Chain A
Amino acid sequence: MDKTIFETFIGLEIHIQLITKTKIFCNCRNSFGDPPNTNICPVCMGYPGALPALNKEAAKKACLLCLALKCKLNEKAVFDRKNYFYPDLPNNYQITQFEFPFGIEGSVDTALPDGSIKTVRIHEAHLEEDAGKMIHDRIGSMCDFNRAGTPLLEVVTKPDFKTGEEVEAFLLNFRRIIRYLGVSDGNMEEGSMRCDANVSINYIGKGLGKRVEVKNLNSSRNVKLAIQHEEQRQAKLLKAGEPILQETRLWDDDKKRTESMRSKEDANDYRYFPDPDLPPFATTPEFIAELKSMLVELPLARRNRFMSEYNLIQDTAEFLTEEKDKADYFEEACKKGADPQNAAAWLKGDVTKVLNREKMEILSSPLDIGRFIMLLDFVEKGKINGQTAKKVLDIIITENKNPEDIIKENNWEQVDDSDSLMPVVEKVLAESAAAVNQIKAGDMKPVGFLIGQVMKNSGGKADPKKVKELIMEKIK
């Protein structure tokens, strides 16, 4: 799309499944993967006379995210019935918030790939119930209501995005935020975070164009691709003077394009009205104070602090603050005496490599902070060299052992006394006459090779610095 002629406006509707033990209005379990219709009761099945009651935890988590998104909390939030005819919710209506949602008028800062900060305004955030799942076949539609009535928070942004890249960066950051707060696991592939994008383009300066809603986006990358595809498609229509239909389109991941959903004949008329079964929820000062005590430093702020406080480069700070657990681990290690640069390098490099290979998370892995610090300390003090430390790290994680025991068992303690190293050095030098002559002639290139040979002959235990000293001493 020619960005000198057209501009793009993108707004998002993000649904996230909240982490709670029970559903939003009844005490059925909120759990994924149970046999069909295991977690159902008269309330979520819409039996006559059954009364819904709001799950306090769902309200808390919803409002906590609202605060993190800098939303104003409505003093009195009201639940409404959104009427629609579809069997994925047995009541024939969805309980949601319409006129008085929990949060309004917020904003989120996101770091873009070019390093700039993008501020996106949040229109509103409301709490609602999720619908059940259905499988359609020829004889009928099979309903599983385990998910019906589970708490879902919908966050609606203003149309502040200009490109698919901005949206992708925003979604990654948003996912980090909800995981930091512990309100949702934000897994787009599994549907615990779902995103619809409203995309419109227009000639520059003409304001918003016709809005096209794109659904079925199950990764932040697909959201980006779908937006880019829509820009091309809509620009082509505008150039040809053809109308853009205000419609809902589905992303086809195989064909990498959007396709029109069967458009509904009449515009939706959901006939919202306040649910008489549910009293309004007042966000009292006590409630807000409780939420504020639950707020944590958000990923972007933490990244920036890591850069200034620990003098880390952006890339490293970004890596460490991806997940709250990892950032907490790093800070805890520093507090207990680890050198920040050193700890960061290990965490970003070998620790992550081994954890990924073993499919483990750092906090639940055998590499507790005490062992990690001890390992760094051994290298620092010259008890083991860097290469040995990598082997020790691997064994700590795969065999759940203490670093000192591993070193003792394998007799890996670094050798740096001249008496035991000198014979090895002499042997290597005697076998490498060509290299020795080269060095004598002033070419220092083979030094590395000689050190390597000595290391190999000492079973990897030699202190490379000491070895170099001895070699130079001997050749001179």
Chain B
Amino acid sequence: MDAVSVVTGIAAPLPFSNVDTDQIIPAVFLKRVTKTGFEDALFHEWRKDPDFVLNRPAFAGARVLVAGPDFGTGSSREHAVWALRDFGIQAVLSPRFGDIFRGNSGKQGLLAAEITEKDAETFWALIEENPGIEATVDLVTRTATIGAHTVEIVVDDYTRWRLLEGLDDISLTLRDEAQITQFEHNRQSWRPTTLPAR
């Protein structure tokens, strides 16, 4: 994973709540077996509307999404993160994220940062006044800035560290392999095993 520290780019507003992962990417696109090339699938139904924010010329090339609460709820599909990433979105700001979505984001270098509802509303107003205005999301200082307005962002320490360092989870865990093996040695015999099949 590439390290992430500061994201700067056009901010697009998505001022409603409960944008679930079925809306971010409908199930029909989940049939693919690849991990890239999902940009066309992003918000597939909504993008049929020419007035949808990501279709508006002012927001072409948007890098930051400012969303309402409960963004990324529902299905665990990591494809939602891949679609955002492939489309060019590098940071999402929301007052509250679906837990699994937030976890998936951290693993793919998509910066999912919490801001307060009030700050989201301020940002939406700023963007409405100046469509195409840029946002800067800074993981080092834990801030997001649009125009003259800078707010605090919340990202947990562990995710922040991994994003800043660009660390791969599996290699990190395998440093503890001896402990895993020890744990397995003590595993009670009543615990389930799938093999041999019965």
Do A and B associate with each other? Answer: no
Chain B positions within 8 Å of A, measured between CB atoms, are none
